[in-house]
Amino acid sequence: MMLGLFPEARFLLLEPQHEMAAALDRLSGHYTNVSWIECGAGPEETELLLNISDDLNGSSFIPAASHRRADDADSGATRQRRV
C-alpha cells in the first residue's frame, strides 16, 4: 500500500523474526527502494530473547506463557537496534 502512495520513498523494514526472512528477501528483491534488517527496534543496542507465538503474528520481546522462547529454538538472541 505505501509503495503505491509514495513510489519515490525508500523503505527500511525492521523484522526480528528469522521466519520472515524469505518473504522480506522476495519483497526487497522485487522493489529496489525496499530494504530490511533482521532486528528489533528499541531505545538501545542490545540482544533480547524473542518469544515466538505459534502463528508468528503475536511474537514479542515481552514474555508470555503461550509463546515458545527463541532460546528453545535454533535462533537464540535477537539483535535490537536503537532507533
Task: Provide the residue-wise pLDDT of the chain in tens; the chain has 83 residues.
Answer: 788 899 899 999 999 999 999 999 999 999 999 999 999 988 899 988 888 888 888 788 877 665 555 555 444 578 888 87
pLDDT at position 53 is 80
- Per-residue confidence (pLDDT) for residue 25, from 0 to 100: 98
Instruction: Name the one residue in this structure whose C-alpha cell is 530494504.
Output: 35
Look up cell 528469522; give the residue.
18
Enumerate the domain spans of the chain: 12-82
pTM for this one?
0.73
**Dist CA 4 CA 27 (whole Å):** 14
State residue 2's pLDDT score: 87
On whether the CB atoms of residues 48 and 71 are closer than 8 A, the answer is no
